[in-house]
Amino acid sequence: QREAWKKHQVEGFTDKDGFEKEVVRHVETTLARSLFNCDEGAAYSATSLAFRDRLITEWNRTQQRQTTADTKRVYYLSLEFLMGRALDNAMLNVGLKDVARGGIDDLGFRIEDIIEQEHDAALGNGGLGRLAACFLDSLASLNYPAWGYGLRYRYGIFKQEIINGYQVEVPDYWLDFNPWEFPRHDVTVDIQFYGNVRKSQDENGKTVAHWEGGEIVTAVAYDMPIPGYATPSTNNLRLWSSKASSGEFDFQKFNNGDYESSVADQQRAETISAVLYPNDNLDRGKELRLKQQYFWVAASLYDIVRRFKKSKRAWREFPDQVAIQLNDTHPTLAVVELQRILVDIEGLEWDEAWNIVTSTFGYTNHTVLPEALEKWPVGLMQHLLPRHLQIIYDINLFFLQTVEKKFPNDREMLTSVSIIEESQPKMVRMAYLAIVGSHKVNGVAELHSDLIQTTIFKDFVKIFGADKFTNVTNGITPRRWLHQANPRLSELIASKTGGHEFLKDLTQLNKLELSIDDDAFRKEWAEIKYANKVRLTKYIKKTLDVTVNPAALFDVQVKRIHEYKRQQLNIFGVIHRYLALKAMSPEERKKQLPRVSIFGGKAAPGYWMAKQIIHLINNVGAVVNKDPDIGDLLKVIYLEDYNVSKAEMIVPASDLSEHISTAGTEASGTSNMKFVLNGGLIIGTCDGANIEITREIGQENIFLFGTLSEDVEDLRHAHTYGSHTVDSDLNKVFDTIQSGTFGEPNDFGAMVAAVRDHGDFYLVSDDFQSYIDTQKMVDTEYRNQDEWVRKCIRSVARMGFFSSDRCINEYAEGIWNVEPLVVK
Ligand code: DL6
pLDDT tens-digit profile of 602-614?
Answer: 999 999 999 999 9
CB 261 within 8 Å of CB 269: no
> How far is 98 from 101, CA to CA, in rounded Å?
5
Q: In terms of Cα–Cα distance, which of 558, 496, 569 is closest to 768?
A: 569
Q: Is 375 a catalytic residue?
A: no
Q: Which residues are registered as beta bridge partners of 667?
A: none
CA 372 – ligand 1 centroid, Å: 10
Dihedral over alpha carbons 576, 629, 536, 543 (to 10 degrees) = 100
* Among 375, 560, 668, residue to substitute to test ligand 1 (most atoms within 8 Å of Cβ): 668
204-208, 378-382, 610-614: which has the minimum mean pLDDT?
A: 204-208
Local structure of residue 481 (DSSP, 8 states): I
Upper half-sphere CA count for residue 672 (Cβ side, 13 Å): 31
Neighbours of 447 (CB within 10 A): 25
CB 339 within 8 Å of CB 353: yes
**pLDDT for the residue numbered 3:** 82
> How far is 70 from 307, CA to CA, in rounded Å?
10
Taking CA atoms only, the protein residue closest to ligand 1 atom 5 is 669
ipTM of model over 0.90: yes
Start-to-end CA span in the chain (Å): 23
Mean pLDDT, the chain, integer:
95
Q: Does pLDDT of 171 surpass 80? A: yes
Q: Is 674 a catalytic residue?
A: yes
Report the nearest atom of ligand 1 relative to the CA of 283: 16
**pLDDT for the residue numbered 255:** 66
> How far is 688 from 18, CA to CA, in rounded Å?
48
Amino acid present at 769: Q
Confidence of residue 11 (pLDDT cuts 50, 70, 90): confident
> How far is 241 from 730, CA to CA, in rounded Å?
51
CA 129 – ligand 1 centroid, Å: 8
Report the nearest atom of ligand 1 relative to the CA of 669: 5
> How far is 135 from 765, CA to CA, in rounded Å?
38
- As a residue count, the chain comes to 824
Local structure of residue 607 (DSSP, 8 states): -
Interacting residues of 542 by C-beta distance below 8 A, sequence separation 6+: none
CA 605 – ligand 1 centroid, Å: 18
Taking CA atoms only, the protein residue closest to ligand 1 atom 11 is 366
**pLDDT for the residue numbered 250:** 56
Upper half-sphere CA count for residue 625 (Cβ side, 13 Å): 21
Q: Is 670 a catalytic residue?
A: yes
* Active-site residue, from 670, 685, 736, 774: 670
Q: Does pLDDT of 252 surpass 70? A: no
CB 680 within 8 Å of CB 668: no
Q: Does pLDDT of 248 surpass 50? A: no
Interval 317-366: pLDDT, tens: 999 999 999 999 999 999 999 999 999 999 999 999 999 999 999 999 99
Report the nearest atom of ligand 1 relative to the CA of 131: 2
Residues with CB under 6 A from ligand 1: 126-128, 131, 280-281, 328, 366-367, 372, 444, 474, 666-670, 688
* Among 279, 326, 364, 366, residue to substitute to test ligand 1 (most atoms within 8 Å of Cβ): 366
> How far is 90 from 96, CA to CA, in rounded Å?
9
169-183, 492-506, 575-589, 641-655: which has the minimum mean pLDDT?
A: 169-183
Report the nearest atom of ligand 1 relative to the CA of 364: 1
What backbone phi and psi angles, to 5 degrees, belong to 418?
-60, 135
* Alpha-helical regions (H) of 366-517: 378-384, 386-406, 411-417, 430-437, 446-454, 458-464, 478, 487-497
Upper half-sphere CA count for residue 788 (Cβ side, 13 Å): 20
Q: Is 560 a catalytic residue?
A: yes
What backbone phi and psi angles, to 5 degrees, belong to 79?
-75, -10
* Active-site residue, from 65, 565, 635, 719: 565
CA 148 – ligand 1 centroid, Å: 18
CA 303 – ligand 1 centroid, Å: 28
Q: In terms of Cα–Cα distance, which of 380, 303, 379, 374 is closest to 337?
A: 303
Taking CA atoms only, the protein residue closest to ligand 1 atom 3 is 127
Residues of the chain with pLDDT > 90: what percent? 91
CB 397 within 8 Å of CB 417: no
**Section 166-187 average pLDDT:** 92
Local structure of residue 374 (DSSP, 8 states): -
Interacting residues of 695 by C-beta distance below 8 A, sequence separation 6+: none
**Section 573-583 average pLDDT:** 98
* Active-site residue, from 85, 480, 529, 559: 559
**Section 276-283 average pLDDT:** 85
Q: Is 665 a catalytic residue?
A: no
Report the nearest atom of ligand 1 relative to the CA of 374: 16
> How far is 726 from 724, CA to CA, in rounded Å?
7
> How far is 690 from 666, CA to CA, in rounded Å?
10
Q: Is 565 a catalytic residue?
A: yes
Report the nearest atom of ligand 1 relative to the CA of 130: 2
Report the nearest atom of ligand 1 relative to the CA of 372: 16
Local structure of residue 350 (DSSP, 8 states): H
Confidence of residue 247 (pLDDT cuts 50, 70, 90): low
Mind giving me the DSSP string for 498-562? Answer: TSGGGGT-GGGGGGGGGGTT-HHHHHHHHHHHHHHHHHHHHHHHHHH-----TTSEEEEEES---
Interacting residues of 330 by C-beta distance below 8 A, sequence separation 6+: 78, 79, 293, 374
Angle between helix 804-811 and 127-141 (nearest 10):
80
The percent helix, strand, coil of the chain (3-state, each to 5) is 55, 15, 30
* Active-site residue, from 154, 560, 719, 798: 560
Report the nearest atom of ligand 1 relative to the CA of 330: 16
The model carries a pTM of: 0.97
DSSP element (H, E) containing 752: helix 749-756
Taking CA atoms only, the protein residue closest to ligand 1 atom 15 is 281
Taking CA atoms only, the protein residue closest to ligand 1 atom 13 is 281
CA 366 – ligand 1 centroid, Å: 5
> How far is 549 from 534, CA to CA, in rounded Å?
9
* Active-site residue, from 52, 366, 479, 719: 366
Interval 661-704: pLDDT, tens: 999 999 999 999 999 999 999 999 999 999 999 999 999 999 99
CB 322 within 8 Å of CB 262: no
**pLDDT for the residue numbered 177:** 82
* Among 76, 78, 79, 128, residue to substitute to test ligand 1 (most atoms within 8 Å of Cβ): 128
Interval 69-118: pLDDT, tens: 999 999 999 999 999 999 999 999 999 999 999 999 999 999 999 999 99
Interval 538-556: pLDDT, tens: 999 999 999 999 999 999 9
Q: In terms of Cα–Cα distance, which of 151, 193, 189, 188 is closest to 388?
A: 193
* Among 367, 472, 602, 810, residue to substitute to test ligand 1 (most atoms within 8 Å of Cβ): 367
* Order of strands, sheet of 420-421, starting from the edge strand that comes earlier in the sequence: 375-377, 427-429, 420-421
